[in-house]
Amino acid sequence: MSEMLSFKLELEQQSDYEFRVKFDWPGVDELLLDEPEPLGHAAGPNAARLIGAAVANCLSSSLLFCMRKFKQTPGTLRAEVSGELVRNEGGRLRIGRFDVTIHLADEAGAIQHFDRCLSQFEDFCVVTESVRHGIPVGVRVVDATGAELFVGGESAAASPSPQGI
């Protein structure tokens, strides 16, 4: 049976390309969005950056949830996301891909059942699995020693993010 959950956000133009986002949760601060120059003033993140942040946040949260489900207390997770803008056949900019690296604070061997978490955390990430229908998303997990523990999705060598997004 299909389950549908919904949410509603409000955006209101402040000036030029600046929009204030109001969230549907009480007590959550509003967020200012803006486009980079030459259109906007980069007074806040733009939509492409928000999607990248959402993908990295969802993957990190999903991995954390799994570790906690197995009664583990991992140290602080850190994630990096690189985004790439490309031009389509019509010359329009599109998000070409995201690459996410999740850094563990601990060595993987110290986390019980970690192999099970690695085998399933991507599948439980609502945002990444939705975004992947149109944008390739590569995922890596590394531990505190820098050991690469997981490579998933459509991974590519991490490259610096272009200035345009």
Mean pLDDT value of segment 22-50: 96
Residues 74 and 17 in one domain: no
Residues 59 and 24 in one domain: no
Decide if 44 contacts 35 (C-beta within 8 A). no
Indicate the pLDDT class of residue 165, thresholds 50, 70 and 90.
very low
- Angstrom distances, CA of residue 78 to CA of 19, 20, 24, 100, 144: 28, 27, 27, 10, 11
Strand, helix or coil for residue 63: helix
**Residue-number span of the structural domain to which 122 is assigned:** 47-153
In a domain, 146, yes or no: yes
* Domains: count for the chain: 2
Residues 60 and 123 in one domain: yes
Residues 76 and 141 in one domain: yes
Residues 98 and 36 in one domain: no
Residues 87 and 133 in one domain: yes
In a domain, 164, yes or no: no
Q: What CATH code is carried by the domain that includes residue 66?
A: 3.30.300.20
Two tokens, residue 26: 């009480």
pLDDT at position 78, please?
A: 97
pLDDT at position 155, please?
A: 56
pLDDT at position 164, please?
A: 43
- Angstrom distances, CA of residue 143 to CA of 49, 78, 82: 25, 10, 19
Residues 35 and 62 in one domain: no
pLDDT at position 162, please?
A: 37
What's the whole-number average pLDDT of the chain? Answer: 91
The more confident residue out of 13 and 154 is 13
pLDDT tens per residue across span 113-134? 999 999 999 999 999 999 998 8
